[in-house]
Chains A and B, each alone.
Chain A
């Protein structure tokens, strides 16, 4: 499993927090609600341990993912329990939660939220590390965690995970930002971070 030193961890947390801050500002101005975004900590975990990592059972998870390519390749994912995702989408559009299912409109809302957050984080990361990245169009999916992990066999065993929490007005919705890397790409990222730190 990959290991990062404390300076690298601090730098990653800082990069992500900058991106999250931009995303929160965008969401605030867009939906007209008080939206707060927090990333309390960042950690590196093994892919196999991802299921155990979550204190709740993601049998049905909502995810917004964007693949990226460049000096380091991978996939960034914003992950929510489906129920939390439904609450988040309904809260942003001021709609009642009248159905447990997420229809295409709500999926669109969540995709945009994911797009803004991933945009903020990845954009900040790419800019700070001065390494251009190209992205796919965001994609919304509903599946369990196992399916999510098994999507791409080329993804490295380790991944970066940042817990995020959305506070919309008084409502708090928790999710996770996951950053999967293609094999060897994570080393490239750390190299870029080390360069930036020097």
Chain B
């Protein structure tokens, strides 16, 4: 049998034959080579005692099972590494799969070992490679995700971002570039950066190229072309992309469309200009007003004195008419400057427009089609109907003039509730329109339109394109609308008509007051008046006027003087006529002290300034009213009597 086994010396596996008690009978050459133990040494030895692994209980048990059941045993390299130790180095051993088979006769066990060392090493190497590849893949995926995030961020940036090569050819353009210019991403890659610049700006291209080539970045405001040939202004920042070698490979450009920003800046400049103009005009109008107050007062008195001189009376009458015309101009200037008196009421705007449209229809020639389009609803308005009527009449009058030479002329007056979602650009220009309820009043014509150069100036006082015209009409309209906390803007192209958009804030669910005028008041007896005004001309004229009207007048030069006089002559006044703005002690402060002596004394506050400002202070007092200077003597008389009667 041993002789027959010598064939096992020529196989690639280790093989040994043992008795079932463990005594080695055969030890092949492969095992000699692997284990370093010669056949001579091993034969006769007990393999179970020689090698430690065979003494482990679970291995012993399985060998017993082999003897009992005769089922061959396999000991895998992965679970046991080896049964017969075959050293590779001093500390490491070969990986071997061992099979034990009970041979026929059941007295001998053949042990064969298959070497898996190279396989294990190959797997270990493979695992390391796999691990390295996995880490590389993970890094690549992380980088890819990071790149995708970056690309998403770049694509969603509010600015257009483009990358060009050294020759200026576009290599990348983000989504905003497409929105900004109209070129699709594919078309963008066909572009040279120079194609984005208008012909007039090509000199800039060379300057930019020179700057970038010198390794510096360039920033500036630049006109850029869209695909449709139109241009826009952009804040542009261009910088070279430097690689690890320090050399520039590409160029990145960031372009922010600032068209809207520029429009807002222009709007702001216009507002500033208007405010400055308003202040100037308001100041002049106020001084004129005081002068006119004096002139008109004296004219009234002079006219009473010269009743026996008809020619002089006629002249005075003409002077008075001219003075009233001058007062009208001043009134328009005051309207523009928002310093005029507003007779504020609540009223339904739609009904109001229907009423004045009857008047407007008479003023529009028959050859011009005049249409009204009013949305249903009350449009509760709080304002001065007279001023608004004047403004609308003025706009329609201008429209008529613009349509005079036009065939098929058409003027439209339209009223609707303002819906912010329908016109977002208007909301951007006027953020107030985003909130609150507004009436949108449109006066549109298809006449000659407005020259683009004039659009910015049409609301300036004294600006006119007419041969005959004061240039105050639109200025007054704007002042009136602003005074109502509204917005007015014009949209026009020359030859294609003009649209005036007026946005007026509406009252929410408030009952409007009756528009009917008060009943006339009957003339009653003389009134004892304390007249207070720091302007000697106004004070003296008014005093003389009131005296001539049959009233008893005591004058005070300012608020402090008034308080002292009222205290001195306590109980001897029926009414106080008080200027609002005075040195030492102003009207409201003086009145507070006077009311401590007589809490019911009626007061008429007079102001030459913005009535809305004074109104707040005047409203503090009961039995008070606020009027604007210059006052019509007849109206003042009515007012005095009305106040006295209401107190009774």
Contacts and interface: CB of A to CB of B under 8 A. Distances in A.
Interface string B92-119: 0001010101000000000000001001
Interface in A127-164: 127, 132-138
A109 B68 CA distance: 23
A106 B72 contact: no
Contacts of B61: 26, 29
A136 B69 CA distance: 13
A112 B120 CA distance: 17
A30 B120 CA distance: 21
B72 A105 contact: no
Given A29-B57, A30-B58, A99-B130, A119 B73 contact: yes
B529 interface: no
B389 interface: no
Nearest to B58: A29
A126 interface: yes
A115 B73 contact: yes
A105 B73 contact: no
Contacts of A182: none
A70 B241 CA distance: 83
Interface in A78-130: 89, 92-93, 98-99, 103-106, 108-109, 111-112, 115-116, 118-119, 122-123, 126-127
Interface stretch (B76-84, B135-143, B253-261, B555-563): B76-84
Nearest to A115: B74
Most chain B CB within a 10 A radius of its CB, from A29, A112, A115: A112
A137 B116 CA distance: 18
A68 to B, nearest CB: 8
Interface in B144-195: none
B68 A111 contact: no
Contacts of A112: 74-76, 79
B79 A122 contact: no
A34 to B, nearest CB: 15
A89 B57 CA distance: 22
**For the complex, would chain A's binding face be called helix, strand, loop or mixed by DSSP majority?**
helix
A30 B57 CA distance: 9
Given A26-B61, A30-B58, A98-B130, A137 B79 contact: no
B123 interface: yes
B242 interface: no
Interface string A21-59: 010001001110000000000000000000000000000
A105 B95 CA distance: 10
Contact of A105 (B57, B68, B69, B77): B77
Q: How large is the interface on A (under 10, 10 to 19, 20 to 34, 35 or more residues)?
A: 20 to 34
B485 interface: no
Nearest to A104: B119
Contact of A134 (B68, B70, B73): B70
B512 interface: no
A178 interface: no
A118 B69 CA distance: 11
Contacts of A135: 70-72
B185 to A, nearest CB: 40
B269 interface: no
B74 A111 contact: yes
Interface string B50-65: 0000000110011001
B207 interface: no
B116 A104 contact: yes
B486 to A, nearest CB: 75
A15 interface: no
A20 interface: no
B318 interface: no
Contacts of B123: 103, 105
A179 interface: no
Contact of B99 (A26, A89, A103, A137): A137
Given A98-B127, A105-B120, A30 B79 contact: yes
Contacts of B127: 98
A109 B79 contact: yes
A193 interface: no
Contacts of A115: 71-74
A93 B79 CA distance: 6
A127 B58 CA distance: 20
A137 B66 CA distance: 12
A105 B123 CA distance: 9
A189 interface: no
B78 A108 contact: yes
Given A99-B130, A104-B116, A137 B72 contact: yes
A108 B99 CA distance: 11
A109 B76 contact: yes
Given A26-B61, A31-B79, A137-B99, A126 B69 contact: yes
Contacts of A122: 69, 71
A66 interface: yes
A108 B127 CA distance: 18
Nearest to A93: B78
Nearest to B104: A134
Contacts of B78: 89, 93, 105-106, 108-109
Most chain B CB within a 10 A radius of its CB, from A98, A108, A118: A108
Nearest to A90: B78
Contacts of A22: 65
A112 B97 CA distance: 10
A157 B116 CA distance: 39
B119 A105 contact: yes
B76 A119 contact: no
Contacts of A103: 119, 123
Contacts of B68: 123, 127
B296 to A, nearest CB: 105
Contacts of B120: 105
Nearest to A139: B74
Nearest to B71: A119
Contacts of A126: 69-70
A108 B62 CA distance: 17
Interface in B502-523: none
B94 to A, nearest CB: 13
B627 to A, nearest CB: 95
Most chain A CB within a 10 A radius of its CB, from B57, B61, B72, B78: B78
B128 to A, nearest CB: 11
A108 B97 contact: yes
Contacts of A109: 76, 78-79
15 contacts: A22-B65, A29-B57, A66-B71, A66-B72, A93-B78, A104-B119, A105-B77, A105-B78, A105-B123, A108-B76, A109-B79, A112-B76, A118-B71, A127-B68, A137-B99
Given A105-B119, A137-B74, 7 more contacts: A92-B79, A105-B76, A109-B78, A109-B79, A115-B72, A118-B71, A123-B68
Those 7 A-B pairs whose CB atoms lie nearest each other, nearest first:
A123-B69, A108-B76, A29-B58, A119-B71, A112-B76, A109-B78, A105-B78
